[in-house]
Chain A
């Protein structure tokens, strides 16, 4: 359950990152790390199996391109299916967070 949640979370973060446009692995890793103010300390390596899995499910697609400093890099972009998935997962995530908050709040008061 916990592994599922975390895996799903990483998927969600990757998909959200790609909403802004295509990016390669290095960029995605750094964006996630920066956006979360380094709270989500993902080992960058674990990103790649996740990328593979998302591509396998058809939510993202990949192509070889040239990076900002002229290196050949593999770029990922969101597919239509991925966009739908992102919307679904986001709403599910929000439901979950809301539910958890409702449970936690009374205890805090």
Chain B
């Protein structure tokens, strides 16, 4: 027979039923023969046999595979319960799905961005070596070539150390000219990163030598895009900035370091780059691979010692400069970690609220099921069996919710993956992969147990006979206590989230209203960089830009056009030390530094930067005329005090060149080119007619939509030089939006989570209050029958809700007070304990909670005493 009986048990059961029926008939017949009435006879026969259903069940159970069987039973029963209470199930599943979905999505980000190892060989040993000058406000700064060379020579902590200098190159020879992002790297670079090429080789030490025929390693992306994955590409040459380079290798797929580069060239430091003055020219990024067993701290202290020696050796350029090590992980994702951790905390809170809410719903339903459970008890079900059944229902609920939550998470992840790396590094690495699914499963089981445990405990406690006697009208006081505690918990957590998002929102709004000091509406921008091979003289560069500006100006719809060496909308602009007459005695390392812009005369007008004193540049400020400069307001205030700076001189040390004095002809307003949240930086401007510059940004103000300017800009530039590419075409709106993208992202997400938390918490309050009203209908009826007015009933119910809310607000305020300091770095012009925010949020939450309890309270006042008393 074996396991096949499992499938035959239904027909067997029918046979048993007939068999038992036969027994009853025979026994009844005999009883009647003994002289009983037929009713007594039937009754006696039944008593003799026992409970036929129980007998059948016993036999039935003998045919079952008990554990799996009863689990399956529980699952089916659970599904039936969920279907039967569709409204309850929908609310519970939706609530949990939101909580689980949000947690899964944020965890997938944390896993993909923070936790999963970087895709390099042994990434923990890769470090970024920076120069640092805290006293001058540069905690992390680029490295100058001579310092790098000394580091390389003297350090013993590293297996390899490499310099990287990003650069853009004009690629010609394709269908149309294109600007390609690349990097000049030391030959040791690829060994530092631990990557190998798919084809060919990387650089050899002899490739680093200046003047040798150029070689290039292609990125995988460029190789597929521009060379159609040509397997014969090795040995071919390509033209970059007018010079020919031979392809020696193709890098492996997915390797793109620094971010966004498409090719690598060998680094070459000419005599200029290694001259004594060049120690002050910081532009290299330096990466190193630690020797096995050498800690970051140990390497750091070695580099600090070396820097100290250099400082003594070259006080003129190195005073105040020390070294700082960052792990690659820290350097890549360090700036988003605080945001992600705060968001993870927030979704954790949200999930707790969701759990509390569902636990509340289950408890409310438990009251209704009390009789069912009590009956099952009296029929002989064991406590464990019933608890298991209830927990199965809970886990089933969370299982379905997890399914829905995963859909939500997948949708959210798709949105997050489209974020540009500047907002979220490694975003492409985010996905619903195995660890994330594991996390979701863990969360599902945990939440199921969490919200199912209290009801299961409650419901299986207490004597069933009591419950049956109670008649299911009044809930025990204990359960009401648990439900109230849950509501207080929800309110507490919701308040913390609301305060957090309130602070961020306030910061963001304040950030939005900051005046950047320039106009960016209706402006299109584009970058043009002229190759030195083709534009070797200052005059050629000047002539090119003059022509381009002239041609664009003549296009219909263009109101203003200008060029500048820097774009204040993007940050990270050049900055050089400068000296007024009073400061000239100081060594260059002690002189203040300011942002530096080489601009066309129309620049200030185009960007709406106001003239405060003197004049703008004019075309007359040409190469042969006296050198002139315009300074920003802060320089004028800080270094010229009460004197009029117009007519005074300023010396600007551009690069390694000997500073030349310029006459100050104008003072303009400050611009916030370091970001809206930062203080305005000082800035000095020179006319491009006196200082030739090869990499310029074009600014076009027009009547029409600036995003339509791209093709016009391209065609005007190529009409001057058909080989000249235009890159990074963008609009002022886009660039400014990018600058606030990170605060915007965290503000949006945290506000979203806080909003959800508020909705869930008010649902919780509403649910509990409704339940209280329903359970106290009888009592309210009595009160009303005894003469209580509607307002006193309203007060009775409301006071209960208000009490819980106030408790939650009190706890929540304390919690928020303790937690918001973690967000200090995100806040702009708002303190973490901003009293106004706390009060506003508390008031807001209070009003919402009041509304949530008012609706059930209103219902209570409509109670008809007559009906309520008959309610039983």
- Note all chain B residues with C-beta closer than 8 A to A56: 1, 5, 62
Residue of B nearest to A72 (CB): B22
Residue of B nearest to A27 (CB): B26
**When each residue 48-90 of chain A gets 1 if its CB lies under 8 Å from chain B and 0 otherwise, what string results?**
1100110010000000000101011110000000000000000
Task: Determine how close the nearest CB of chain A comes to the CB of B492; give it in whole angstroms.
Answer: 53
Check if B62 sits within 8 Å of A26, measured CB to CB: no
- Note all chain B residues with C-beta closer than 8 A to A71: 22, 25-26
Give Cα A49–Cα B61 distance, bound, in whole angstroms: 10
Task: Determine how close the nearest CB of chain B comes to the CB of A52; give it in whole angstroms.
Answer: 5
Task: Determine the main DSSP class of B at the interface with A.
Answer: helix
Check if A25 sits within 8 Å of B19, measured CB to CB: yes
Q: Does B214 contact A (CB under 8 A)?
A: no
**When each residue 4-34 of chain B gets 1 if its CB lies under 8 Å from chain A and 0 otherwise, what string results?**
0100000000011011101101110100000
Give Cα A67–Cα B52 distance, bound, in whole angstroms: 21
Residue in contact with B19 in the complex, picked from A46, A53, A69, A74, CB distance below 8 Å: A74
Residue of B nearest to A69 (CB): B29
Evaluate whether A49 and B59 lie within 8 angstroms (CB atoms) in the complex, with A25-B22, A69-B29 already known: yes
Task: Determine how close the nearest CB of chain B comes to the CB of A90; give it in whole angstroms.
Answer: 25
- Note all chain B residues with C-beta closer than 8 A to A25: 19, 22-23
Give Cα A98–Cα B19 distance, bound, in whole angstroms: 38
Check if B62 sits within 8 Å of A49, measured CB to CB: yes
Residue of B nearest to A52 (CB): B59
Tell which of B16, B19, B50, B51 has the most Cβ of chain A within 10 Å: B19
Residue of B nearest to A57 (CB): B1
Q: Does A45 contact B (CB under 8 A)?
A: yes
Residue in contact with A45 in the complex, picked from B1, B15, B50, CB distance below 8 Å: B50
Give Cα A86–Cα B27 distance, bound, in whole angstroms: 28
Check if A74 sits within 8 Å of B15, measured CB to CB: yes
Q: Which of B51-83 contact A (CB under 8 A)?
A: 51-52, 54-55, 58-59, 62
- Note all chain B residues with C-beta closer than 8 A to A74: 15, 18-19, 22
Check if A53 sits within 8 Å of B62, measured CB to CB: yes
Give Cα A69–Cα B27 distance, bound, in whole angstroms: 12
Give Cα A52–Cα B63 distance, bound, in whole angstroms: 10
Check if A45 sits within 8 Å of B54, measured CB to CB: yes
Q: Does B867 contact A (CB under 8 A)?
A: no
Q: Does A37 contact B (CB under 8 A)?
A: no
Q: Does B463 contact A (CB under 8 A)?
A: no
**When each residue 606-646 of chain B gets 1 if its CB lies under 8 Å from chain A and 0 otherwise, what string results?**
00000000000000000000000000000000000000000
Give Cα A41–Cα B448 distance, bound, in whole angstroms: 48
Residue of A nearest to B22 (CB): A73
Task: Determine how close the nearest CB of chain B comes to the CB of A31; give it in whole angstroms.
Answer: 13
Q: Does B115 contact A (CB under 8 A)?
A: no
Task: Determine how close the nearest CB of chain B comes to the CB of A42; give it in whole angstroms.
Answer: 10
Residue of A nearest to B57 (CB): A49
- Note all chain B residues with C-beta closer than 8 A to A69: 26, 29
Q: Does A44 contact B (CB under 8 A)?
A: yes
Check if A45 sits within 8 Å of B22, measured CB to CB: no
Evaluate whether A26 and B59 lie within 8 angstroms (CB atoms) in the complex, with A45-B52, A48-B16, A74-B15 already known: no
Evaluate whether A67 and B50 lie within 8 angstroms (CB atoms) in the complex, with A48-B59, A49-B62, A56-B5 already known: no
Check if B26 sits within 8 Å of A46, measured CB to CB: no
Total A-B contacts with CB atoms under 8 angstroms apart: 58
Task: Determine how close the nearest CB of chain B comes to the CB of A96; give it in whole angstroms.
Answer: 26
- Note all chain A residues with C-beta closer than 8 A to B737: none
- Note all chain B residues with C-beta closer than 8 A to A48: 16, 19-20, 55, 59
Give Cα A92–Cα B22 distance, bound, in whole angstroms: 34
Q: Does A4 contact B (CB under 8 A)?
A: no
Task: Determine how close the nearest CB of chain A comes to the CB of B347; give it in whole angstroms.
Answer: 53
Check if B5 sits within 8 Å of A26, measured CB to CB: no
- Note all chain A residues with C-beta closer than 8 A to B20: 45, 48
Give Cα A44–Cα B54 distance, bound, in whole angstroms: 13
Give Cα A32–Cα B48 distance, bound, in whole angstroms: 14
Give Cα A57–Cα B427 distance, bound, in whole angstroms: 65
Q: Which of B522-566 contact A (CB under 8 A)?
A: none
Residue of B nearest to A56 (CB): B1
Interface bracket on A: 10 to 19
Evaluate whether A44 and B59 lie within 8 angstroms (CB atoms) in the complex, with A74-B15, A74-B22 already known: no
Task: Determine how close the nearest CB of chain A comes to the CB of B548; give it in whole angstroms.
Answer: 97
- Note all chain A residues with C-beta closer than 8 A to B59: 48-49, 52
Q: Does A43 contact B (CB under 8 A)?
A: yes
- Note all chain B residues with C-beta closer than 8 A to A45: 20, 49-52, 54-55
Residue of A nearest to B54 (CB): A45
Residue in contact with B50 in the complex, picked from A24, A46, A73, CB distance below 8 Å: A46
Task: Determine how close the nearest CB of chain A comes to the CB of B678; give it in whole angstroms.
Answer: 81
- Note all chain A residues with C-beta closer than 8 A to B1: 56
Task: Determine how close the nearest CB of chain B comes to the CB of A51; give it in whole angstroms.
Answer: 9
Task: Determine how close the nearest CB of chain A comes to the CB of B615; give it in whole angstroms.
Answer: 109
Check if B55 sits within 8 Å of A49, measured CB to CB: yes
Check if A73 sits within 8 Å of B5, measured CB to CB: no
Check if B5 sits within 8 Å of A46, measured CB to CB: no
Give Cα A48–Cα B50 distance, bound, in whole angstroms: 11
Give Cα A43–Cα B400 distance, bound, in whole angstroms: 46
Residue of B nearest to A48 (CB): B55
Residue in contact with A44 in the complex, picked from B23, B25, B62, CB distance below 8 Å: B23
Give Cα A93–Cα B16 distance, bound, in whole angstroms: 30
Task: Determine how close the nearest CB of chain B comes to the CB of A73; give it in whole angstroms.
Answer: 5
Residue of A nearest to B46 (CB): A45
Give Cα A30–Cα B631 distance, bound, in whole angstroms: 118
Evaluate whether A73 and B49 lie within 8 angstroms (CB atoms) in the complex, with A53-B62, A56-B5 already known: no
- Note all chain A residues with C-beta closer than 8 A to B62: 49, 52-53, 56
Evaluate whether A49 and B26 lie within 8 angstroms (CB atoms) in the complex, with A25-B19, A43-B50, A44-B49 already known: no
**When each residue 138-181 of chain B gets 1 if its CB lies under 8 Å from chain A and 0 otherwise, what string results?**
00000000000000000000000000000000000000000000
Task: Determine how close the nearest CB of chain A comes to the CB of B27; give it in whole angstroms.
Answer: 6
Task: Determine how close the nearest CB of chain B comes to the CB of A4; give it in whole angstroms.
Answer: 16
Give Cα A72–Cα B48 distance, bound, in whole angstroms: 20
- Note all chain B residues with C-beta closer than 8 A to A46: 50, 55
Q: Which of B401-437 contact A (CB under 8 A)?
A: none
Check if B26 sits within 8 Å of A73, measured CB to CB: yes
Residue of B nearest to A55 (CB): B1
**When each residue 365-397 of chain B gets 1 if its CB lies under 8 Å from chain A and 0 otherwise, what string results?**
000000000000000000000000000000000
Give Cα A48–Cα B13 distance, bound, in whole angstroms: 12
**When each residue 662-679 of chain B gets 1 if its CB lies under 8 Å from chain A and 0 otherwise, what string results?**
000000000000000000
Task: Determine how close the nearest CB of chain A comes to the CB of B379; give it in whole angstroms.
Answer: 16
- Note all chain B residues with C-beta closer than 8 A to A43: 48-50
- Note all chain B residues with C-beta closer than 8 A to A49: 55, 58-59, 62
Residue of B nearest to A24 (CB): B22
Residue of B nearest to A53 (CB): B62
Task: Determine how close the nearest CB of chain A comes to the CB of B16; give it in whole angstroms.
Answer: 7
Q: Which of A1-58 contact B (CB under 8 A)?
A: 24-26, 29, 43-46, 48-49, 52-53, 56
Residue of A nearest to B45 (CB): A44
Task: Determine how close the nearest CB of chain A comes to the CB of B54; give it in whole angstroms.
Answer: 7
Residue of B nearest to A46 (CB): B50
A sample of 30 cross-chain residue pairs with beta-carbon separation below 8 angstroms, ordered by A number, consists of: A24-B22, A25-B22, A26-B23, A26-B26, A26-B27, A43-B48, A43-B49, A43-B50, A45-B20, A45-B49, A45-B52, A45-B55, A48-B16, A48-B20, A48-B55, A48-B59, A49-B55, A49-B62, A52-B59, A52-B62, A56-B1, A56-B5, A56-B62, A67-B26, A69-B29, A71-B26, A73-B19, A73-B26, A74-B18, A74-B19
Residues of B within 8 A of A (CB): 1, 5, 15-16, 18-20, 22-23, 25-27, 29, 48-52, 54-55, 58-59, 62
For the complex with contacts A24-B22, A44-B48, 16 further pairs of A-B residues with Cβ separation under 8 Å are A25-B19, A25-B23, A26-B22, A43-B48, A43-B49, A44-B23, A45-B50, A45-B54, A46-B50, A48-B20, A48-B59, A49-B58, A56-B5, A69-B29, A71-B25, A73-B22
Residues of A within 8 A of B (CB): 24-26, 29, 43-46, 48-49, 52-53, 56, 67, 69, 71-74
Q: 10 smallest A-B Cβ distances: which pairs?
A: A45-B50, A45-B55, A43-B50, A26-B26, A45-B49, A49-B58, A74-B19, A26-B23, A73-B22, A52-B59
